[in-house]
């Protein structure tokens, strides 16, 4: 049984179609990279899944719920945690406050405070730098620290699926290595399902897993990241060789 | 010394009034980028809710005769209720509209409230004796300060402390601060948009009602236009405070109160009638040198 299933999903901004009839399924525990050039519709696809830009057509199911057109907060409460592009930290809130914002969604369940405290310690154990600076305003952190913060914040709600848009954007390569190392470790630890958007396929090839290539709002290729990354079909599809 | 103290208290109590109004506007602006021009009319409505509809010059008080410990919660509930109602009936439908459209909707709502009051009470100001015990003066270091001024300042301080604790210490407050900075991101973390916005409207309405009680006791009249001046000053305070910054709104509110009071004292008697022109002149100066406001809200900054 798949955790996430998209069928025929389209996203439009006015007359511009950003995502065209996209369909795929994602199994629990899978690692999926969506790559593709600028303007391929990758971010729009994530925004549609998160409910920020409701799809113009098609259907999205998550964990046996039809989430098409549902509000972002409802989708988050079902277990999808989004890390949008550009590291949207709450700059005037402290690191710890940033981490705690999402835990309120479980306030109706018993013992949520204790569980939130446990989650907080777990995030601090994964990213010790956040603990050292936990009362610092998040806006003062470096890019890499902010990236760790938003990933930690996404984990605080105990999601089943974490969707991350361009975790390497604006980061030095060695920091990106660190971020990925943590992500892959977390996936094994928590049996997380990960959906990562990246422009280049390099990271996907290093990390392994499944990779899809998007271009012009459509999914052109779908397969094993390492095999696909080295194929000529990949290059041709990415750059659009052989098309008019 | 005594007259200096007098000026200080005048400045603080006038500033309190502006700060309360500015907070009410900044709270809503923070979470939904709406400049709520109906705020002044919510102030008037909260006071008129204490009276029976009539055309007489002397108000027929009904709820206004309640003892203060019932009167205050009752009025706050009226303000909060009207404000929440305006969210449900009007502003919810404009959630995805641009800020200019929402602002015009708020003007329209303000007119609806004002003309509703006009219909029931006529435009004639009514004299009311609200909390009459407060008009007694008290003596502090040789200066005779009206008790009401003292209470106004203390109430404002209490509101500021209470609001700060609420925003910093409670889960709902944390959610409101997060939503004020980045609404979409907060929603993606499961923060319920409707609850946060309703909370902001309820708080803002309660603040409007607090302004109404202070204004009503200060002037001893109920006038359907009574909120207009406070609203204008409060709006200016939110602008020079930095739109969306609560601390900035409060600071600017007190600053405006101080400028207005000081102008009243130092301007030559002939120019006092034009005091507001000088106050707005000072506002223009502030905006020339700090167009982003005194304390600009972080969330409003452009992101790369």
Selecting from B187, B191, B298 the residue whose C-beta is nearest the C-beta of A139 gives B298
CATH code, B11? 1.10.3470
CA angle B205, B206, B210 (to 5 degrees): 115
CATH number for the domain spanning A141: value is: 3.40.50.300
Binary contact (A101, B188; C-beta < 8 A): no
Number of A to B CB contacts under 8 A, please give it. Answer: 79
Is there a domain that residue A159 lies in? yes
Classify the C-alpha dihedral B51-B53-B59-B60 as positive or negative: negative
User: Residue B1's pLDDT is what?
Assistant: 65
Distance (Å) from the alpha carbon of A105 to chain B's nearest alpha carbon: 6
Q: Which domain holds residue A24?
A: 2-239
* Segment (H or E) for B184: helix B183-188
Q: DSSP alpha helices (H): ranges in chain A?
A: 42-50, 72-78, 95-100, 112-126, 128-132, 143-155, 173-190, 202-207, 225-230, 232-239
A91–B181 CB contact, under 8 Å:
yes
Pairing relationship of beta strands A80-83 and B137-140 according to DSSP bridges: unpaired
For residue A35, the 8-state DSSP code is: E
Closest alpha carbon to B257 in B279, B241, B273, B277: B279
Q: Are B181 and A73 within 8 A, CB to CB?
A: no
Mutation site, B176, B185, B191, interface A, largest A CB count within 10 A: B185
> From chain A, which residues contact B within 8 Å (Cβ)?
50, 52, 71-73, 76-77, 81-82, 84, 86, 88, 90-93, 97-98, 100-102, 104-105, 107, 139, 153, 157
CB-CB under 8 Å, A73 with B182: no
**Distance separating alpha carbons of residues A35 and A81, to the nearest angstrom:** 19
Average pLDDT over residues A27-41: 92
Contact A93 B181 (CB under 8 A): yes
Tell me what pLDDT residue B300 has: 43
pLDDT per residue as tens digits for the range A154-169:
999 889 999 999 988 8
The DSSP code for B10 is: H
Q: Residue A179: what pLDDT?
A: 83
Q: Are A160 and A3 in contact (CB under 8 A)?
A: yes
- Tell me the nearest-neighbour CA distance from B22 into chain A, angstroms: 20
Residue B52: count of CB within 10 angstroms of its CB = 14
In a domain, A244, yes or no: no
> In 3-state terms, what secondary structure has residue A21?
strand
Nearest to B186 among A77, A101, A157 (CB): A101
Give per-residue pLDDT as tens, A192-233: 999 999 988 888 888 889 999 999 999 999 989 888 888 888
Give a yes or no: residue A168 inside a domain: yes
d(CA A159, CA B255): 47
- Cα angle for residues A144, A146, A149 (degrees, 5° grid): 115
Give the pLDDT of residue A194.
95
- Give the residues across from B51 on adjacent strands: B61
Nearest CA in chain A to B193: A73
Rg, Å, chain B Cα set:
19
Nearest neighbour of A50 by CB, restricted to B174, B188, B303: B188
Higher-pLDDT residue of B295, A117: A117
Q: Does position A31 have pLDDT exceeding 90, yes or no?
A: yes
| ipTM of predicted assembly, 2 dp | 0.91
Question: B83-86 long-range CB contacts below 8 Å, 24 or more apart?
Answer: B83/B42, B83/B201, B83/B202, B83/B204, B83/B205, B83/B206, B83/B208, B84/B198, B84/B201, B84/B202, B84/B205, B86/B38, B86/B42, B86/B201
Inter-chain CB proximity B181 and A105 less than 8 Å: no
Reading the block at residue B265, the tokens are 């004292």
Please give the model's pTM, rounded to 2 decimal places: 0.86
Q: Which residues contact B131 (CB under 8 A, 6 or more apart)?
A: B68, B71, B148, B213, B217
Following DSSP, what letter does each residue of A96-108 receive, concatenated? HHHHHGGGGGGTT
- Please give the tally of structural domains in chain A: 1
CB contact under 8 A, B298 and A102: no
Angle, alpha carbons A11-A12-A13 (nearest 5°): 135
**Do B120 and B60 contact (CB within 8 A), yes or no?**
no
Strands B137-140 and B143-146 come out as antiparallel
In the DSSP assignment, the letter for residue A29 is T
Please list every residue in chain B whose beta carbon sits closer than 8 Å to the beta carbon of residue A86: 303-304
Nearest chain B CA: its distance from A102 CA (Å): 5
> Residue B297: its pLDDT value, please?
58
The interaxial angle of helices B2-32 and B171-181, nearest 10 deg, is 70
Q: Where are the alpha helices (DSSP H) in B90-188?
A: 99-121, 147-169, 171-181, 183-188
Q: Which chain B residues are closer than 8 Å to A93 by Cβ?
A: 174, 177-178, 181
Phi, psi at A81, each rounded to 5°: -110, 125
Question: 3-state DSSP: chain A helix, strand, coil percent, rounded to 5?
Answer: 40, 25, 30
Kindly tell me if the per-residue pLDDT of A142 is higher than 50. Answer: yes
Query: Does the beta-carbon distance from A71 to B298 stay under 8 Å?
Result: no
- Domain containing B177: what range? 2-300
Asked if A100 lies within 8 A of B187 by C-beta distance, the reply is no
Smallest Cα distance from B177 to chain A, Å: 8
Contact of B243 with B300, CB cutoff 8 Å = yes
Cα of A88 to nearest chain B Cα, Å: 7
Q: Which two tokens stand for residue B157?
A: 């301080």
Chain B residues 174-233 with CB within 8 Å of chain A: 174-175, 177-178, 181-182, 184-193
CB A20, CB A36: distance < 8 Å: no
The predicted structure's pLDDT at residue B221? 86
> Which of A92, A104, A153 is opposite residue B298, by nearest beta carbon?
A92
Give the pair of three-digit tokens for residue B203: 């708080």
Classify burial at A191, counting beta carbons within 10 Å of its beta carbon; exposed 0-12, middle 13-18, buried 19 or more.
Answer: exposed
Please identify among residues 6-65 of chain B the ones whose CB lies closer than 8 Å to any CB of chain A: none
Distance from CA of A14 to the nearest CA of B (A): 15
In-domain check, residue A148: yes
Asked if residues B209 and B83 have their Cβ atoms less than 8 Å apart, the reply is no
**Residue pLDDT tens, chain B, 304 long:** 678 888 999 999 999 999 999 999 999 998 888 999 999 999 999 999 888 777 776 766 666 677 778 888 999 999 999 999 999 999 999 988 888 999 999 999 999 999 999 998 888 888 887 777 777 788 877 778 888 889 899 989 999 999 999 999 999 999 999 998 899 999 999 999 999 999 999 999 999 999 999 898 888 888 899 999 899 999 999 999 888 788 899 999 999 999 999 988 888 888 888 888 888 888 888 889 888 888 865 544 433 3
Q: Which two tokens stand for residue A120?
A: 């907080």
> How many other C-beta atoms lie within 10 A of the C-beta of residue B272?
13
The residues, any chain, with a CB within 8 Å of residue A223's CB and separated by 6 or more, are: A210, A211
Using a CB-CB cut-off of 8 Å, the residues of chain A touching B184 are 52, 72, 88
Query: How big is the CA angle at B20 (ends B299 and B197), to the nearest 5 degrees?
Result: 45
């Amino acid at each position: 049984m798949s955790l996430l299933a998209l069928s025929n999903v389209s996203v439009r901004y006015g007359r511009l179609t950003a995502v065209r009839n996209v369909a795929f399924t994602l199994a629990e525990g899978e690692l999926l990279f969506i790559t593709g050039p600028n303007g391929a519709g990758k971010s729009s696809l994530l925004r549609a899944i998160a409910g920020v830009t409701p799809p113009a057509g098609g259907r999205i199911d998550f964990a046996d719920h039809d989430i098409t057109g549902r509000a972002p907060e409802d989708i988050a409460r079902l277990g999808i945690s989004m890390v949008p592009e550009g590291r949207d930290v709450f700059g005037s809130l402290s690191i710890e406050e940033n981490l705690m914002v999402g835990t309120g969604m479980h306030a109706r369940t018993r013992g949520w405070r204790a569980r939130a405290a446990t989650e907080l310690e777990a995030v601090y154990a994964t990213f010790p730098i956040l603990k050292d600076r936990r009362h610092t305003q998040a806006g003062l952190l470096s890019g890499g620290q902010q990236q760790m913060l938003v990933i930690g914040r996404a984990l605080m709600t105990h999601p089943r699926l974490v969707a991350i848009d361009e975790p390497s954007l604006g980061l030095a390569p060695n920091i990106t290595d660190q971020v990925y190392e943590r992500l892959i470790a977390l996936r094994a630890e928590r049996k997380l399902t990960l959906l990562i958007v990246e422009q280049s396929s390099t990271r996907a090839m290093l990390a392994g897993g499944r990779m899809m290539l998007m271009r012009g709002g459509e999914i052109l290729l779908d397969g094993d990241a390492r095999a696909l990354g080295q194929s000529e079909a990949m290059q041709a599809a990415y750059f659009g060789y052989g098309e008019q | 010394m005594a007259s200096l103290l007098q000026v200080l208290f005048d400045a603080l109590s006038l500033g309190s009034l502006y700060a309360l109004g500015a907070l009410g506007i900044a709270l809503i602006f923070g979470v939904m980028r709406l400049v709520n021009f109906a705020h002044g009319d919510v102030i008037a409505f909260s006071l008129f809710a204490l009276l029976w509809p009539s055309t007489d010059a002397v108000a027929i008080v009904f709820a206004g005769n309640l003892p203060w410990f019932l009167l205050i919660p009752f009025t706050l509930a009226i303000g909060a209720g009207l404000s929440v109602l305006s969210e449900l009936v009007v502003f919810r439908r404009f959630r995805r509209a641009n800020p200019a459209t929402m602002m015009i909707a708020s003007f329209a709502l303000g007119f609806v409230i004002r003309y509703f009051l006009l219909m029931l009470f006529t435009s004639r100001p009514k004299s009311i004796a609200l909390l009459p015990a407060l008009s007694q003066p008290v003596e502090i270091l040789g200066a005779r300060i009206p008790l009401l001024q003292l209470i106004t300042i203390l109430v404002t301080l209490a509101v500021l402390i209470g609001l700060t604790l609420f925003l910093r210490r409670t889960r709902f407050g944390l959610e409101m601060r997060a939503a004020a900075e980045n609404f979409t991101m907060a929603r993606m973390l499961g923060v319920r948009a409707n609850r946060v916005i309703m909370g902001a409207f309820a708080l803002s309405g309660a603040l409007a009602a607090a302004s109404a009680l202070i204004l009503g006791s200060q002037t001893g009249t109920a006038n359907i236009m009574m909120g207009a001046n406070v609203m204008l000053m409060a709006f200016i305070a939110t602008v020079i405070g930095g739109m969306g910054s609560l601390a900035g709104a409060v600071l600017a509110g007190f600053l405006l109160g101080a400028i207005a009071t000081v102008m009243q004292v130092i301007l030559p008697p002939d120019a006092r009638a034009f005091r507001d022109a000088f106050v707005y002149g000072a506002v223009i100066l502030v905006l020339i040198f700090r167009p982003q406001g005194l304390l600009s809200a972080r969330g409003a900054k452009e992101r790369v």
